[in-house]
Structure 1
Amino acid sequence: MSAHATTLGQLLLTGIPGPELDSETAARLKKLQPGGFILFSRNLQDATQLRKLCDDLRDLSDIEPIITIDQEGGRVSRLRYIGQEPPNAQQLRQKGDPLLIKRHGQLTGKLLRLFGINLDLCPVLDISYDDTADNSLKGRCYGTDPQQVVDNAGTFNRAMRKEGVLSCAKHFPGYGPAECDPHEFLPIIEKTAEQLEKEELLPYRTLLPELDSVMVCHANYRAYDPQNERWPASLSHNIVQKLLRDQLGFDGLAMTDDLDMGAILNEVTFEQAIQEAVKAGNDMVMICHRLEMVEEARRHLEGVPDPILHDALIRLEKTKKKLAFPDKFSLEKFAAINDDIWKLRVDTLGEEGAKNLSVEDGKRSPVELY
């Protein structure tokens, strides 16, 4: 057993099955001690239940856990299942008022603090080259060029963090040029290193000092992995360690996107995915849906060299020192924030536009479920 065997669970970010912890799930998680939990619509029934779930997850964790969610705006707002749907990044960008983006950041922070969610998986730093493109980014991009992303995502990020919720920029190095959806297939990105430097990497280079964590995506970048044509960025030492850490100087928390996505499942074994992700320089591996695999993932981590595990655990510990405790919960407070989100929606989209909520029409990316 490695010296870190007792703490290896810390490197796992896991989904949980339902809206409450049954005794079997609670016992499993208590034994495993994952470093973090990610919530989905399957975990949400109402405001009181959600707060209790977050409290229960905290209670069974020996070390303060990361409790995270995708609360971006629009269709990728998990909390729209129990409250109002904030406008999405594209709607805010098109409205062109930074004060509305700031309000979105503040309200997102307040809402998450109320539930005890301490890290939000946003802002999205991808560039939209085509707002109608059939990839996973529809409606989710703060800019059609790098500087617009920096300005808008930066405004959101600062406002949310000021409320005590940590941020995670995604999807490094950038899904903007992707031709397909990584939930289903591995995108291949042919851009040169020079093009990526001028476009995709610019928002990261600029905003890294004020980001708590970065999520690494599942796409193959020919510029960085020319020898390895089907190798996803999330498992790439060239991209996580050499590019993000050595070249861009990021020493915060790096995590993989969900390893249950087609871009990974179709390309590598589970053992490879877990071990190579951490060897590449990621600190947390994300398993959102195949929850029966989490214990196996922990066993696979024992095959990673000790010095690499040590570095990952140190970065995770450093990030966890910044986690804020939940606000005191009340349904009145939730109702007030919820009203303010509706007002933000109206101020962004107008009275009529605000009524058009995101619909699940089956023609969407599975991102709504993932």
Structure 2
Amino acid sequence: MLKSQKIAQCFSPAAFIHDTEENYQAIEKLIREQEIGGLTFFHSRHSAAANFEKRAEVLDVSGTFEKLIGLINRYQAISKIPLLISIDGEYGLAMRVEKTPQYPFAITLGALKNDAEKWVEEVCYRMGLDMKRSGIHLNLAPCADVNTNPNNPVIGYRSFGDQAGKVAKLAFAAYSGMKKAGIDACLKHFPGHGNTATDSHLGLPILYKTKAELEAEELFPFQFGIDRGVELIMVGHLAVPALTGGKDIPASISRELITDLLKGEMGFKGLVISDALNMKAVANLYPEPGELEWQAFHAGNDILCFSDHVKEGIEKIAKNASDEEVNAVFGKVMNLKKRLGVMESKSIEVPAFNWESHSQLQKDLAENYVSVISGEINPEELQAMAKAGKLGYQEFFTQSPSLFSQQLDLPVAPIEQAEKVILAVFVPSHKPLNQFGMDQAILSELQELAKNKRCILIHFGNPLALKLLGKLEDFEAVICGYQEFEEVQRVVAQTLQGL
């Protein structure tokens, strides 16, 4: 086998489900001519770096799942060595593909009150089965980032929390669940992206901490996973000068960080995956095509994700890397493919999902994480006030009347006449940009209401948005739902009714 063919097995460029026929053929050309080792699927070019949420793009997005399966079959059929198919699906296929099962965000799972590790493993086992049946071998998840900066623009809801010990256990449970389903998973974003204030899709975050501080927090979940046999780790695009001799170099292209610290000092023997090489934190550093790919390979990455310059990258690595280095990485990638059954890849049918079972899981989870986080709920008093025409109800940031208002099943009075008001807030976005999508005028109206009347706040969405709703003590009680799932809305309604 040629040296260039072995190097090509490291490459997993982006493949877009919604794209032009010309672009589909360009991927086929990469498979035929460059003999790449894998593909990482995204919804569409418009959303590649972003997660799947409300989009403004004008694009035919019907049949995304069927299209994905069709493309996997199409690309596998022409690849000499079967392709390793990856997806970044932190909360399931639904992060990239409509009309597929969506699971709770990591921040929600971090709020589970009982048997959290057992439930997280079960969630990620189900998620892994969805992917395995769809021809996917590797999920680029979970996040092992400790979200200690509440204003973090890029991690937030993607982290299991702000305690290193809890994050370590739940990230490992998530990893274990996916492995149990027969796919692989990876801990990300080494050395830890949770305390950053810059989005690495847009610029380079720099983390100024001492090595001892990093070991106690950021590095802890990764070391926890390494000690328990984790086989894949993704390195993020963030600079940590304390670990790179004072240099502001992205971790993803730092040999000191990947080869010396992660593989050497921390004892990691598995495969290292680069975060997307098109992200601005690294993409702008090396204008010459192929140079970034070589730097990432030289630093110690075994799989190069989302490279925009595959051909030039292979040529540069072939020119600069020794046969010994190339053979070692090629061996690791091929062993991974054998272990995951990639080499026996067959054409797949579009699988059907068991929506009933999924809904039951969501209900069981919601009963475990929906929480009264301040104050107390007195269902008898609410019933009595409703009967007396003194209970009000108002929704914020909903497009249409919610399922929750129907589930509540309490007669409500106009706000002016009400002595007590239930305020249901449906947070529009799970990302902090533009106040999580919440309009300031409406927020001010809500805060004013809380000061003038006895109010119970129901918060459906990312709990990091709670700080924008005013002081918690201004509300008689606060219930955190974490998600807007129908099952969650039912559980909250039952909590208010004392069921």
Other-structure match for 1:153: 171
- 1:276-355 alignment runs, 5 A limit: 276-287=295-306, 290=308, 293-306=309-322, 307-324=324-341, 334-336=352-354, 338-349=355-366, 352=404
Preserved contact between residue 6 and residue 326 of structure 2 (Cα < 8 Å): no
Question: Are positions 1:238 and 2:240 aligned together?
Answer: no
Other-structure match for 1:368: none
| 1:223 partner SS | helix
**Which residue, out of 279, 285, 293, partners 1:274?**
293
Greater radius of gyration (CA): 2
- Going from structure 1 to structure 2, the CA distance change for 1:352 and 1:335 (only over 3 Å counts) comes to farther
1: CA distance, partners of 2:222 / 2:76: 31
Preserved contact between residue 152 and residue 194 of structure 2 (Cα < 8 Å): no
Give the drift of 1:266. 3.1
Other-structure match for 2:373: none
Question: Are positions 1:35 and 2:52 aligned together?
Answer: no
2: CA distance, partners of 1:57 / 1:103: 31
Following superposition, which runs of at least 4 residues in structure 1 exceed 6 angstroms of deviation?
355-358
Cα shift readout 1:205-245 (whole Å, capped 9, x = no counterpart): 1212432311111111111113423x111110111000111
| 1:215 partner SS | strand
Give the drift of 1:184. 0.6
- 1:1-370 alignment runs, 5 A limit: 3-19=2-18, 22-42=24-44, 45-73=63-91, 77-97=94-114, 98=116, 99-130=118-149, 132-208=150-226, 209-229=228-248, 231-269=249-287, 270-287=289-306, 290=308, 293-306=309-322, 307-324=324-341, 334-336=352-354, 338-349=355-366, 352=404, 359=429, 363=433
Give the drift of 1:79. 4.1
Give the drift of 1:23. 4.0
Preserved contact between residue 297 and residue 304 of structure 2 (Cα < 8 Å): yes
Preserved contact between residue 73 and residue 348 of structure 2 (Cα < 8 Å): no
1: CA distance, partners of 2:90 / 2:41: 13
Give the drift of 1:202. 1.5
Preserved contact between residue 114 and residue 334 of structure 1 (Cα < 8 Å): no
2: CA distance, partners of 1:194 / 1:153: 22
Normalized against structure 2, the TM-score is what? 0.65
Preserved contact between residue 4 and residue 315 of structure 2 (Cα < 8 Å): no
Preserved contact between residue 107 and residue 340 of structure 1 (Cα < 8 Å): no
2: CA distance, partners of 1:14 / 1:42: 14
One-letter amino acid of the counterpart of residue 32, structure 1: Q
Task: Give unmatched runs, 5+ long, in structure 1.
Answer: 366-370
Count of residue pairs the alignment pairs up: 355
Give the drift of 1:191. 0.8
Give the drift of 1:349. 3.8
Give the drift of 1:124. 0.8
Cα shift readout 1:125-173 (whole Å, capped 9, x = no counterpart): 000114x323210201123212101221122211211110101110011
| 1:170 partner SS | strand
One-letter amino acid of the counterpart of residue 175, structure 1: H
